[in-house]
Amino acid sequence: MNEKLTIYDTTLRDGTQAENFNLSVEDKVRITLKLDELGIDFIEGGWPGASPASTRYFEEIRNYELKHAVVTAFGSTRNFSKPPEEDPNLAALLAAKTRAITIFGKSWDIHVRDALRIELEDNLQIIEDSLAYLRPQVEFLFYDAEHFFDGYKANPQYALQTLERAVAGGAQCLVLCDTNGGTLPGEVATIIGEVSRHLNSLTVKTSVAPRPAEGEGGAELPVELGIHAHNDSECAVANSLVAVSLGVRQVQGTINGIGERCGNANLTSIMPGLALKMKHYFPAAENLHKLTETSRFVSELGNLAHHKYQPYVGQAAFAHKGGIHVSAVKRNPLTYEHIDPERVGNIRRILISDQAGRSNVLHKAKKFGIDLDSKDPLVSSILKKLKELETQGFQYEGAEASFELLMRKALGTCKEYFHLLGYKVISQKDPCALGPEEEVVEEATIRLEVGGELVHTAALGHGPVNALDNALRKALYGFYPQLEQVELQDYKVRVLASEHGTGARVRVLIESSDDDSTWGTVGVSHDIIEASWQALVDSITYKLMKDERQRQAEG
């Protein structure tokens, strides 16, 4: 086993610089919990004070107890015009009340002159005293050396001076950033080699002594190096791995490599490379079987299609098409696979056969507590139904409750708790009759048969789907009062194909919860209302079935 590393995720901050990737505060909280589950060491949550939403995230996340991850606030060195104690940026960082703070400063002389418009010496000053001011007030303090590689190429002496001052200010880790993403692996190797030699020589001369770790009893720690790469040359993963091989100990990146322009270094590829191939230890290395799930979760919350060809976690990452490959893979998977897909929670797919599907169905049945033999003809019929539904656009990741209902229907053990006779949903905009131009009115009417009784009712809502949801609940509460416990946690819509414009199919994913658990359901239709209806019906059916099973188990 090689040296222990630290994984630092910036999906919530640098990741959201990507085009078309925006997260609500709630999304950020859910991603934080998911990354904590995976074992990520540091989670950079945003730049406090930059927007009200950033500030609110830090308030929200304090309500959760994380298992391992340390939430980190990000910001810049102080403005030159004010001393650290009066700088609003540093004050906002402290107000976020995180255990870790990262601040970034300028390494490249032209940026100091052109962007900050201050003297080179003044920049060194604000790096050192911003860090020194924060140092006693926070447990972990990191320094991001922005544009370090470009800065070093332009003026190596100055770039090294900025690092020296960051060490003097008390930074625990100097993170070398390839901000523009233009540096190739050969240059990364050369520059990190020179930086390491320089920092070692300083330590030997003790002009910059190893810094005592505040709040931890004063034990001496070495200054660590970190890497923060961008993918503009398609080398961000390689640059990060090369950096680690040269002694860098903190790796920054994002899930799926999402980030500004071409993205950040992709932790989803870096972590398995480091753990499975370079044999480094870090806590998430033990949970890599959750990697594919985490990767898809982040895409889903960001409403981005998951990248099919993505290494390790993509749907095609272990898909075999060529006939020669397929038979060889079946004899010995290592002949055409660099790792076992299960190690990262992915599966092998043989594109012309249903082998992967069968084992998947059996695997799920076992999980749902359904007794199903691998030779049972029902397996084939479930698989056939599944393929049919997938062709229509159904997808059961994140909608396991719908998948369980599908199986139980095939087995004939799924009860119909109510029967739809009909619904009608109206959205009406009528500026003359209804008042201000913004006003839209939605009404749903519904007719159901429940336990032999006919129910016909109506409700209004915020939007047509909400109106239908309200009407359905209203119709059922009298029969099934436990439905009052069900809350809709999340509602997502994805347009499936662009070819038909506004007539395209949509997939609706709903996440519901009660006091005990959370479950996901799915619906697909040309009509968003009908797709939502399917997912709502599955959600309610699942709840009623779950409660019934529980009652049976208890008595």
Interface positions, 475-514, toward a second copy (CB under 8 A): 487-504, 506, 510-511
Q: Does 184 interact with a second copy (rule: CB under 8 A)?
A: yes
List 49, 75, 170, 181, residue binding a second copy (CB under 8 A): 181
Nearer to a second copy, 201 or 427 (CB): 427
Q: Which phi and psi angles does 36 have, rounded to 5°? A: -65, -45
Which two three-digit tokens encode residue 10? 């910036």
- Which of 448, 529, 540, 544 touches a second copy by CB under 8 A? 529
- Kindly state the smallest distance separating residue 470's Cβ from a second copy, in Å: 9
**Is 384 an interacting residue with respect to a second copy (CB under 8 A)?**
no
Token pair of 251 as six digits: 């790796």
Q: Which stretch binds a second copy (CB under 8 A): 77-85, 292-300, 400-408, 520-528?
A: 520-528
**Residue (of 21, 15, 19, 6) closest to 44 by Cα position:** 15
Nearest approach, Cβ of residue 486 and a second copy (Å): 10
Rounded Cα distance between 90 and 106, Å, is: 16
Q: Which is nearer to a second copy, 209 or 460 (CB)?
A: 460
Left (φ > 0), alpha (ψ -120 to 50) or beta: where does 452 sit? left
Tokens representing 255? 């899930």
3-state helix, strand, coil in the chain (%, to 5): 45, 20, 30
Nearest CB to a second copy, comparing residues 157 and 498:
498
132/110 Cα distance (integer angstroms) = 25
Determine the interface stretch with a second copy among 121-129, 215-223, 283-291, 426-434 (rule: CB under 8 A): 426-434
| Residue 195 C-beta: closest distance to a second copy, Å | 19
Q: What is each CA distance from 506 to 198, 300, 526, in whole angstroms?
A: 57, 15, 6
Q: How far is the CB of 475 from a second copy (least distance, A)?
A: 14
CA torsion, ordered 333, 335, 340, 346, to nearest 10 deg: -80
Residues 303-342 as x/- pattern, contact with a second copy by CB under 8 A: x---xxxxxx-xxxxxxxxx-xx--x--xx--xxxxx---
| Binders in 432-461 for a second copy, by CB under 8 A | 432-433, 437, 440, 442, 461
- 527 forms part of the interface with a second copy (CB under 8 A): yes
Residue 102 vs 172, nearer CB to a second copy: 102
Task: Report the residue count for the chain.
Answer: 555
What's the token pair of residue 57?
A: 């995230």
**Chain residues 404-423 in contact with a second copy, contact rule CB under 8 A:** 420-423
Q: Is 427 in the site for a second copy (CB under 8 A)?
A: yes
Which of 111, 165, 296, 364: binder of a second copy (CB under 8 A)? 111
Q: Which of residues 192-251 bind a second copy (CB under 8 A)?
A: 231-235, 237-239, 241-242, 245
Q: Assign residue 217 a region (left: φ > 0; alpha: ψ between -120 and 50; beta: otherwise).
A: left
Residue 190 touches a second copy, criterion: CB under 8 A: no
Cα 17 to Cα 11, 14, 44, 105, 446, distances in angstroms: 9, 5, 13, 18, 44
145-164 positions binding a second copy, by CB under 8 A: 147
Q: Which one, 140 or 312, has the nearer CB to a second copy?
A: 312
Closest separation in Å from C-beta 71 to a second copy: 20
Cα–Cα distance measured from residue 89 to residue 75, given in angstroms and rounded to the nearest whole number: 7
Instruction: Give the distance, in angstroms, between the CA of residue 16 and the centroid of all CA atoms in the same chain.
Output: 11
